[in-house]
Structure formats: C-alpha cells, structure tokens
C-alpha cells in the first residue's frame, strides 16, 4: 500500500540537483527502469525475476554471493535478502531495509502508456510501481551499490530485504522470512518506505511524515434474524428496527482517548505547524490529565480523532427480502480501526456492551469476509519509544535537503508489511524522500507516475540517509 502523504516539492533548486552526480542519477534510473519492466503482479508476474535481477547488480559491485540470496516458498515468489557487512566487531545490531517488489495488477487497455514499459514523458516516469514502491526499491538498491562501490563500511550491517505479496497473493515475503529465516533479517529496527513521506499544503512542503505504528483493521458483522411474516401484521420484534437501534448506540459512542509514543510525537510536532487555537488544544491534550474540552474540539477533525481513539463505523447495511414482508434478516458491516495494544476481541466485547441487546449477533470477519474467530487476538504492538538514531539522521539529512522541514511521527490508519516486523519485535519506521503531489496519488490506479526530479532527489535522500544512519559523512 502507499498512502497519499507526499506531495510535490517546489523550491527544488537546480543547485541542489547539480550537487548530485549524473552518474548516480543514471544508476538509480537504470535500476528503476529494470524493475518497472519486470512484471511482478500476482496473476502473471514473478518477484523471483526481479529479485534475481537485483541480486546480479549487487554481486556485480562486489557483494559476496553468500551475502546475497534469493529464497521463497515457491519458484514465482522469491525474496531477495542482501547484507552489506559493517565494521567487524561492531556491537550494533543490523538495520533492516524493507521493500515489497510486487505490484498491483494493471491492464494495458486502462492505461495511456503500457504499464510495464518504463516511459519518461513530460517530466514524469510512468509505469506500474512508480509510486508503490519500485521507486524506493530502486533507491535502496542504488544506495547499496553506491556505498559498496565507494568502499564505505557502515558501523553496523545493513540488510536489504525485497519481498513478495504485500499487495495480495498468498506468499507474503516478510511473513515468510520471519517464520523461516528470522536470523537473516533480524535487526535492531526496520525502515520500510511503503508509508510516510513528504506532505505539502498548496505545493509547499510542510512536513516529512514518519510512520512508526499502525492501527489494526477489523470488520465486524452485526446480524439480527427474525421469523418474519406478512407486513400487514407488523410486530414489535422487527429485525430492521433492532439493527437500527444497535447502530444508533454505536453512533453515539466514542472510544476512549489514548495516546502512545507515536501519537504524542505527532501532536507535539503538529502543534508547531497549525493555527494557534489548534496548537493550544494539542498542547492541552498532551497534559496529564488531559483537557477534555480540548480533546473534544480536536476529535471533531476526522484525522485527529483517528489519532486519538479506536474508531468503529457502520459501512454497509443489508436487510429484508420483499417490500411486503417483515424482514427475516438485517445485517450491518462495522469497520473498526483499532489502536495499537488492543485486540479485536476487546473491541467486540465493547460493542456487545454498548449495544446491550443479545438478539444482535456480533462476529469478526476474516479477510474473505466470512465470520471467523481466528483473528480475535491479533494485536498491533504498542510502539516503543521513538528510536533516536532514526530521527537524528533524519533531522540531519532532511534538514540539508528540505531546510526547516518538521519531522512528524505518524500512526497509519492503514497497514503495510511493517505489521509483521513490528509484531516480531522489530520496531519499524516508514518514510522516503519521493515527493508526490497530494492531488497526484496514483498508487494502485491508472497511469501511475512519479516526477523525474522527485525520483532523483528521493534516491539521493535514500543514499545520504543510509550513510548518515550508519556512521558515514555528515554525522
């Protein structure tokens, strides 16, 4: 997935670009082109082909074969794991770079250009994966090639994992690697550029978002059944009225406000960028005990509300079978986004409590949309304190490339592969330097594209960041 947090960066000066070598740009572009032109869709593509192509590039620059492997559960769903060795004897645990190499399906007839032909046109690169996320994958591979080429030895191992089936399919590479080859990708923390990024208002960069935790997705089905009958003889026990009453109680309910290390960081950073009234409310809400009037005002904004609480909202209803019959069945889908540290089971208990009507059956649904209790105890891990190394290097490099830009920790309301690493105890952070105009989010859509300058600058950011993070120049 890729969220539309980024936007075009104006103020990009030719001087900045001139500081980047054209050879470095060419390298990143070549890798980007190669990746776009390898079909990695679930239906007809192969992540193994893309993983092997990247493996060859890393072997060509001198990484030993033992440190660059392609492995997976079947021949079409290969994952690449590469390791750039750090200084011998370093006490620091490795850093893990994560990127999914699969892409969402794209049909030629829907697109203006061929989605699997890398096309440069009017200042953009077109192709499936140009935003999600072969741009960042190319940037990560190019960074490792550059670091190895210049003989840079990081102060810790850098592991790169390029994986299958983030967008769909049955062979999620991160999940598979954690279960089968944990030691290959075990790390102090992970960086996954599938989320976060540059955000702008009216073209001006306002902040760089860093995803550091995710809400948990859950659908519940509310069902009321009844014996039905002729509508000329209505009774009190009407399934539609019962369901409507249950949804009315849900509408009136607000889940408790709860902050974690990430949302605290979010509101602290945002308070510096918003108007003074909102800033005052944000500061008040961070006090312990919080100012509930301030919390109430903030909660009227859907985004702030989503940062403060678990949310559950009715998204679909279905009821009745004929205009002249009493309904035998009424169902509603209630979609919940659960705060880290909580489970679907605890949310279901709360729904049962709020609705307080035993004739309303409440069931968690699985990904196939069927009632299932198997995921009731899933949990999105409560985030640990924000990692200082991650943020110090970020302030340094982002400060060079986008002077003065605030760095804002974020809790995503969607989900990326980071949910697997976070659950496995590897704190994971999502950010990249690829600026995408907020009106130009085309991930998963037609004519997906990325500005050429945005790509080159994003690739340079990736390289500089990695170096700063691992003891290189500038630190």
Q: Write down the least CB distance from residue 253 to Zn ion, Å.
A: 33
CB of 104 to Zn ion, least distance (A): 8
Q: How far is the CB of 443 from Zn ion (least distance, A)?
A: 7
Assess contact for 258 and 308: CB atoms under 8 A. Answer: yes
For residue 222, what are the CA distances in angstroms to 302, 362, 371, 382?
24, 5, 11, 28
Closer Cβ to Zn ion, 168 or 234, answer by number: 168
Q: Which is nearer to Zn ion, 165 or 285 (CB)?
A: 165
442 binds Zn ion (CB under 5 A): no
Rounded CA separation 42/266 (Å): 36
User: In angstroms, what is the minimal distance from the CB of 171 to Zn ion?
Assistant: 16
Q: Which residue number, 133 or 365, has a Cβ lying nearer to Zn ion?
A: 133
The rounded distance, in Å, linking the Cα atoms of 371 and 311 is 20
Shortest Å distance, C-beta 79 to Zn ion: 15
Tokens of 473: 């120049």
DSSP state of 76: T
Residue 210 to residue 288: CA distance in whole angstroms: 25
CA distance 267 to 33: 39
- Applying CB under 5 A, among 165, 175, 194, 417 the residue interacting with Zn ion is 194
Enclosing H/E stretch for 469: helix 452-469
Q: How far is the CB of 205 from Zn ion (least distance, A)?
A: 22
The answer to whether the beta carbons of residues 360 and 246 sit under 8 Å apart is yes
- Strand stretches in 273-369, DSSP E: 311-319, 325-326, 329-338, 361-365
Beta strands 158-163 and 95-100 are parallel
List active site positions. Answer: 102, 166
Give yes or no for a contact between 25 and 139, defined as CB atoms under 8 angstroms apart. Answer: no
Of 307 and 415, nearer to Zn ion (C-beta) is: 415
Q: Does 2 bind Zn ion (CB under 5 A)?
A: yes
Which string of DSSP letters, residue by residue, matches 138-165?
HHHHHHHHHHHHTT---SS-EEEEEES-
* Count of residues interacting with Zn ion (CB under 5 A): 5
Q: Which stretch binds Zn ion (CB under 5 A): 50-58, 169-177, 188-196, 206-214?
A: 188-196
Could you tell me the smallest distance in angstroms from the CB atom of residue 172 to Zn ion? 12
Q: H-helix or E-strand containing 95? A: strand 95-100
> Given the complex with Zn ion, which of 194 and 448 has the nearer CB atom?
194
Q: Does 145 bind Zn ion (CB under 5 A)?
A: no
Residue 282 interacts with Zn ion (CB under 5 A)?
no
Residues 124-143 interacting with Zn ion (rule: CB under 5 A):
132-133
In the numeric block, which tokens belong to residue 261? Answer: 């290390």
Q: In the complex with Zn ion, which residue's Cβ is closer, 220 or 431?
A: 431
1 is an interface residue for Zn ion by CB under 5 A? yes
CA-based diameter of the chain, in Å?
85
Residue carrying structure tokens 């993983």 = 51
Region at 200 (left for phi over 0; alpha for psi -120 to 50; beta for the rest):
beta
Q: How many CA atoms, within 13 angstroms, populate the side-chain half-sphere of residue 213?
A: 28
Least distance from Zn ion to the Cβ atom of residue 173, Å: 13
Cis-peptide, bond into residue 452, ω within 30° of zero: no
Is the Cβ of residue 40 or residue 309 nearer to Zn ion in the bound state? 40
Starting at the edge strand that comes first in sequence, how are the strands of the sheet with 197-201 ordered?
A: 197-201, 204-214, 407-412
Residue number with CB closer to Zn ion (40 or 470): 40
d(CA 339, CA 411): 9
**Residue numbers at the binding site for Zn ion (CB under 5 A):** 1-2, 132-133, 194
């Amino acid at each position: 997935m890729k969220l539309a947090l980024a936007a075009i960066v104006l103020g990009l000066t030719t001087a900045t670009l001139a500081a980047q070598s054209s050879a470095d740009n060419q390298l990143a572009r070549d890798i980007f082109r190669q990746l776009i032109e390898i079909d990695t869709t679930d239906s007809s593509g192969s992540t193994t082909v893309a993983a092997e192509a990247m493996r060859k590039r890393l072997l060509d620059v001198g990484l030993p074969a033992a440190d660059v492997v392609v492995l997976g559960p079947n021949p079409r769903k290969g994952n690449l794991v590469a390791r750039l060795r750090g200084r011998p004897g370093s006490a620091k645990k490795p850093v893990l770079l994560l990127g999914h190499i699969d892409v969402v399906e794209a049909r030629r007839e829907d697109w203006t250009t061929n989605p699997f032909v890398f096309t440069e046109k009017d200042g953009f690169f077109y192709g499936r994966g140009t935003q999600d996320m072969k741009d960042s994958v190319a940037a990560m591979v190019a960074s490792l090639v550059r670091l190895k080429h210049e003989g840079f030895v990081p102060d810790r191992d850098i592991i790169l994992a390029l994986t299958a089936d983030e967008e769909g399919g049955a062979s999620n590479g991160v999940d598979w690697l954690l279960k089968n080859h944990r030691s290959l990708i075990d790390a102090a923390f992970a960086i996954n550029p599938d989320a976060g990024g540059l955000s702008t208002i009216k073209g001006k960069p306002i902040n760089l978002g860093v995803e550091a935790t995710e809400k948990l997705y859950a659908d519940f089905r509310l069902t009321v059944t009844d014996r039905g009958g002729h509508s000329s003889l209505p009774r009190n026990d009407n399934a539609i009225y019962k369901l409507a009453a249950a949804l009315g109680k849900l509408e009136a309910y607000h889940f408790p406000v709860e902050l974690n290390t990430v949302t605290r960081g979010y509101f602290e950073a945002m308070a510096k960028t918003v108007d003074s009234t909102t800033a005052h409310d944000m500061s008040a809400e961070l006090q312990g005990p919080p100012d509930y009037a301030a919390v109430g005002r903030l909660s009227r904004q859907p985004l702030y509300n989503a940062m403060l609480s678990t949310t559950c909202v009715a998204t679909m209803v279905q009821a009745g079978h004929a205009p002249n019959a009493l309904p035998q069945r009424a169902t509603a889908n209630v979609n919940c986004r659960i705060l880290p540290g909580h489970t679907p089971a605890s949310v279901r208990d709360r729904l049962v409590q709020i609705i307080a009507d035993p004739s309303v059956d409440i069931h968690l649904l699985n990904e196939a949309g069927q009632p299932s209790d198997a995921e009731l105890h899933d949990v999105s891990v409560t985030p640990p304190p924000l990692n200082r190394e991650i943020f110090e290097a970020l302030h340094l490099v982002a400060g060079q490339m986008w002077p003065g830009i605030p760095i804002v920790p974020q809790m995503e309301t969607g989900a990326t592969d980071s949910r697997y690493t976070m659950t496995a105890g590897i704190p994971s952070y999502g950010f990249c330097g690829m600026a995408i105009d907020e009106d130009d989010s085309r991930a998963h859509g037609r004519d997906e594209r990325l500005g050429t300058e945005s790509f080159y600058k994003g690739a340079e950011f990736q390289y500089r960041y990695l170096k700063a993070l691992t003891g290189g120049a500038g630190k």
